[in-house]
Structure 1
Amino acid sequence: MHKNTICLWFDRDAEDAARFYAQTFPDSEVTAVRKAPADFPSGKKGDALTVEFTVCGIPCLAINGGPAFPQSESFSFQIATEDQEETDRYWNAIVGNGGEESACGWCRDKWGLNWQITPRAMSEAMAAGGEEAERAFEAMMTMRKIDVAAIEAARRGD
């Protein structure tokens, strides 16, 4: 067991979500599914109660806790991408699997978990500071999925 683990509350599909994340992101896997030893408020004996998994090497625990605590934008995974192809792949996997687009590189999966699909070009532009960061930031504010070429053009002042 890890010293620190992110615990995520799901209504009832924690195992499906964890398996999707493991198939979608590198260095991700489902490591254990624990079944409920008895009936519980949102499930029956033998249902998946908790799921241990990793997302990009980060240890997580998902619990099927019922509808009491839905996901919100106050928690998200930020996935750094190298280029537009990788950005598109993750974005399309999440949105194309019943998720929805948001703004500025954010999207939500069908289980309600929020993701920031962030190209390194955007992070590097922000780190540069000054007018370069301002131009890139203003460009990003008009986007849903981040367009790497548009961010790079904004950085240059094109």
Structure 2
Amino acid sequence: MASDGFTTCLWFDGRAEEAAHFYVSVFKNSGIGEVARYPEGAPQQAGTVMTVEFTANGQRFLALNGGPQFTFTEAVSFMIFCEDQEEIDHYWAELTADGGEPGPCGWLKDRFGVSWQVVPDRLQSMITDPDPARAARVTEAFMAMSKFDLAALDRAYAGE
């Protein structure tokens, strides 16, 4: 992995390689890098996957099989900014498949317990609109949603 920028390390309990392949399948501009295996005398069984380097949507990650000591929480999430409803629907379906869980306000957990926010790319400008009534209508609308409905947000923004 290159030494510039940041790499996010995700801690898994034996599912690092599976997770890396899953994320690579969901996002464009993705690929698997080097796979390191535990040596003899390590805290995990020798020969099992220790780390998997991967890129998802151009972002660098390292999936680590560290054991059951730590799990994911909603305190950290990855935001996916989407241009249209088709893109929102795609990521929502892919990331909630096979045991993922939908949550409120565009949040979800994937089958590995990683939290994601699938968000319209124009949401921030809508909720920071100089017209407080517009911002309030959009905020009220999205607070009632699980997966974002872009047409409903646009109607709320327009005051319809």
TM-score range, shorter chain: over 0.9
Matched, 1:47 2:48: yes
**Structure 2 match to 1:128:** 129
**Structure 1 match to 2:103:** 102
Matched, 1:13 2:15: yes
**Structure 2 match to 1:92:** 93
Instruction: Give deviations 1:80-138, integer Å, cap 9, x for gaps.
Output: 11111110000000112320001100000111100000011323312324221211111
Instruction: Give deviations 1:54-87, integer Å, cap 9, x for gaps.
Output: 1211111111011111000111110011111110
Tell me the distance in 2 between the aligned counterparts of 1:2 and 1:151: 41
1:105 and 1:118 in contact (8 A); partners too: yes
**Structure 2 match to 1:36:** 38
For 2:55, the aligned partner's letter is T
For 1:104, the aligned partner's letter is C
Give the drift of 1:39: 5.0
For 2:121, the aligned partner's letter is R
Give identity over the alignment, percent. Answer: 42
What are the within-5 Å matches in structure 2 for residues 109-124 of structure 1? 109-124=110-125
Give the drift of 1:2: 2.8
**Structure 1 match to 2:79:** 78
Matched, 1:140 2:142: yes
Tell me the distance in 1 between the aligned counterparts of 2:40 and 2:115: 31
When the two structures are superposed, what TM-score results if normalisation uses the length of structure 2?
A: 0.92
For 2:86, the aligned partner's letter is E
Q: What SS class does the counterpart of residue 99 from structure 2 fall into?
A: coil
- Runs (4+) off by over 6 Å: none
Tell me the distance in 2 between the aligned counterparts of 1:111 and 1:96: 11
Give the drift of 1:31: 1.2
- C-alpha root-mean-square deviation of aligned residues, in Å? 1.3
Give the drift of 1:153: 0.5
Tell me the distance in 2 between the aligned counterparts of 1:84 and 1:121: 12
Structure 1 gap ranges (5+): none
For 2:12, the aligned partner's letter is F
2:97 and 2:111 in contact (8 A); partners too: no
**Structure 1 match to 2:152:** 150
Structure 2 gap ranges (5+): none
1:18 and 1:30 in contact (8 A); partners too: yes
Give the drift of 1:11: 1.1
